[in-house]
């Protein structure tokens, strides 16, 4: 019988004391993490006895209700009941950590990436509609003054013009602040009356709010001010909440938040944010102005490396602002042509040369994704990084193709990932030969990377190492995903795992942070904070790898995911990289749990015996119900 998540949600909310008793709700891979106003109002016994609830943990100021694999579905049904939620985990209590330049940089990077990533579909969609309007104008189908052209151009421009509002929505969710107050403040920046005042200020007329001078700034298309204001809003809200009397909070608190936030936004944060954004753009394109085609070539070469680290998203605000203000972008986007297409060409070469059937299928799918749609993650993680040498071919090709694109003066009118179908974004209506240059760069990228991969070669994956085979006794073998000291789940300092609430398995105290796939199968879940990954192998075994205890509180900072949900993985493919030192510095355990979450569907789980373990040398086995197995009881 299917789980009734609406009923589960109602029962859980009632059990924790009602929606009015919940300050914030987040969820991790398996648990609903409530922050309650008054924990004494929660009925522990009632919560534990709710059908679908596996257990209850009270830890670190959180009231954690264990749901298991279906936690996201339960979370989704709880939010409409009046509970404030934030998947980003920003409001979850964290261990006090020392702020270092590296940590500050990673926090800023995480803020930009976390805010801009959800907006990319709207940005790409808008830019492609504007591109369509341009193509209609070029071909004479629509005139520049025709209503069709004007409307299409306006539809495309809306995402950019109201970008501060879109950013405010996304950033408020990222930082766990009130979305509507953030939107109200951002809306001021693009309000027609405010924009008229800014135009007058630009002409020399004094504009003040009481006695506070307001600097003339154009906020349409701007990103940084809205991000910073959404972050500041959490502190403004907290400060105003402390000073407003209880009987007046309903009207005085939102009024003061809006007033204080608006004043800070237009007098301080807005101008500084715009200057900072313009400064970053000036640096980026100043380098392009000095180095010319060489800058495009360098970015083309390092682009796959930037994608690996997530640093490529740093360019998003600059690209968006440049396209919005000038109509095109001529350094970062052209460099992506060679980077994307080269990964496709390298994957084609691997598919042709490998003797491993699964690798061939992976490489062909990755090549199609990169060449046709410009989506390179399958090729990057499934082929290039995995085999190493194809990455060298891609880097060399990216430099060559970037140089050609730079010399040709190609520029993009959109932010869509360059691929066969999106190459029209580089067409210059004033330069018909741009079409030939686009074709040339794409052809060079594919041919050179294909040839280099064949010349450099790669170490093929042996067929026997490619998948976990069903053995003669009916068991499925799973490789150990990390090197370290194995122990039983009962020794784990987390009762969710130690009591086997999520299933049987094993734990590892790791020696390094590299996590590889123990199975051949599909990535079913990569949690946003990247501390846990769910996999399903070809025999139906569901595996959860959870790195560290309570590491969800670190908001993903010590983790680098190498795969995404839906990816196909082979045994030994790298899943994620964990910074064990950072986890320990936060005062948290690095113990990693490997759990078969559908243990009840199998006869038995036989983990590795306690002691030192390493990948390829140690396995645990899952026994089917219809097979007999002569083994020791599972370490759970």
Q: Which residues participate in catalysis according to the annotation?
A: 28
The whole-angstrom separation of Cα 382 and Cα 378 is 5
The whole-angstrom separation of Cα 540 and Cα 535 is 10
345 Ramachandran zone, left/alpha/beta (phi>0; psi -120 to 50): alpha
3 state DSSP class of 1: coil
Token output for 66 = 């264990």
CA distances from 385 to 377, 434, 482, 520, 574 (A): 10, 33, 18, 17, 9
Q: How distant is the alpha carbon of residue 22 from its chain centre?
A: 27
Token output for 91 = 């409001």
Quickly list H helices, 481-632. Answer: 495-498, 580-585
Residue 507 host element (H or E): strand 504-510
332-353 vs 357-368: helix axis angle to the nearest 10? 150
163-175 vs 147-161: helix axis angle to the nearest 10? 30
Half-sphere exposure for 490 (CA within 13 Å, toward CB) = 6
The whole-angstrom separation of Cα 187 and Cα 205 is 23
Q: What is the DSSP string of 339-390?
A: HHHHHHHHHHHHHHH---HHHHHHHHHHHHIIIII---HHHIIIIIHHHSHH
Spatial contact of 508 and 615, defined as CB atoms under 8 Å apart: no
């Amino acid at each position: 019988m299917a789980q009734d998540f609406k009923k589960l949600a109602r029962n859980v909310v009632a059990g924790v004391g009602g929606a009015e008793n919940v300050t914030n709700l987040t969820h991790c891979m398996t648990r609903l993490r409530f922050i309650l106003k008054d924990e004494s109002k929660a009925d522990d016994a009632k919560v534990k006895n709710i059908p679908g609830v596996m257990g209850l943990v009270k830890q670190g100021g959180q009231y954690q209700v264990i749901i298991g694999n279906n936690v996201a579905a339960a979370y989704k049904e709880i939010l409409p009941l009046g509970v404030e939620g934030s998947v980003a985990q920003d409001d979850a209590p964290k261990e006090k950590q020392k702020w270092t330049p590296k940590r500050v940089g990673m926090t800023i990077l995480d803020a930009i990436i976390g805010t801009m990533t959800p907006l990319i579909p709207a940005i790409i969609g808008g830019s492609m509609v504007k591109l369509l309007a341009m193509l209609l104008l070029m071909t004479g189908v629509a005139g520049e003054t025709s209503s069709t052209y004007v409307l299409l151009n306006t539809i495309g421009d809306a995402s950019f013009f109201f970008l501060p509002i879109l950013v405010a929505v996304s950033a408020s969710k990222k930082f766990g602040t009130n979305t509507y107050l953030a939107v109200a403040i951002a809306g001021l920046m693009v309000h027609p009356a405010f924009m008229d005042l800014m135009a007058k200020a630009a002409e020399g007329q004094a504009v003040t709010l009481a006695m506070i001078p307001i600097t003339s700034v154009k906020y349409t298309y701007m990103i940084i001010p809205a991000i910073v204001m959404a972050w500041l809003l959490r502190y403004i809200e907290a400060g105003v909440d402390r000073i407003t009397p209880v009987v007046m909070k309903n009207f005085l608190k939102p009024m003061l938040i809006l007033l204080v936030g608006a004043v800070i936004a237009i007098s301080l944060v807005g101008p500084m944010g715009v200057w900072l954004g313009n400064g970053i753009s000036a640096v980026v394109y100043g380098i392009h102005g000095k180095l010319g085609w060489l800058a495009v070539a360098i970015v083309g070469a390092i682009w796959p490396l930037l994608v690996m680290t997530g640093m490529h998203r740093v360019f998003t605000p600059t690209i968006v602002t440049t396209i919005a203000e000038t109509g095109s972008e001529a350094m970062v986007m052209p460099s992506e042509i060679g980077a994307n297409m080269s990964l496709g060409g390298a994957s084609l070469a691997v598919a042709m040369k490998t003797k491993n059937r699964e690798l061939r299928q992976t490489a062909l799918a990755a090549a199609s994704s990169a060449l046709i749609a410009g989506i390179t993650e399958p090729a990057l993680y499934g082929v290039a990084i995995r085999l190493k040498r194809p990455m060298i071919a891609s880097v060399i090709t990216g430099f060559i193709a970037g140089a050609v694109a730079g010399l040709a003066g190609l520029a993009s009118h959109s932010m869509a990932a360059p691929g066969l179908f999106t190459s029209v974004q580089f067409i210059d209506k004033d330069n018909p030969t741009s079409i030939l240059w686009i074709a040339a760069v794409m052809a060079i990228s594919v041919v050179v990377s294909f040839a280099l991969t064949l010349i450099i070669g790669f170490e093929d994956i042996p067929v026997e190492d490619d998948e976990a085979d069903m053995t003669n006794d009916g068991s499925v073998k799973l490789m150990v995903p990390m090197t370290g000291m194995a122990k039983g789940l009962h020794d784990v300092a987390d009762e969710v795992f130690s009591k086997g609430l999520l299933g049987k398995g094993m734990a590892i105290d790791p020696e390094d942070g590299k996590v590889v796939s123990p199975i051949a199968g599909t990535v079913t879940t990569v949690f946003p904070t990247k501390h846990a990954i769910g996999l399903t192998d070809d025999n139906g075994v569901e595996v959860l790898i959870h790195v560290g205890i309570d590491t969800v509180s670190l908001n993903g900072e010590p983790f680098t995911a190498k795969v995404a949900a839906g990816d196909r993985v082979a045994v030994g493919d790298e899943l994620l990289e964990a910074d064990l030192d950072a986890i320990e510095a936060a005062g948290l355990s690095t113990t990693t749990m490997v759990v078969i979450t559908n243990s009840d569907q199998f006869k038995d789980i036989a983990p590795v015996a306690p002691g030192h373990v390493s990948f390829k040398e140690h396995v645990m086995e899952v026994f089917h119900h219809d097979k007999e197995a002569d083994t020791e009881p599972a370490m759970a």
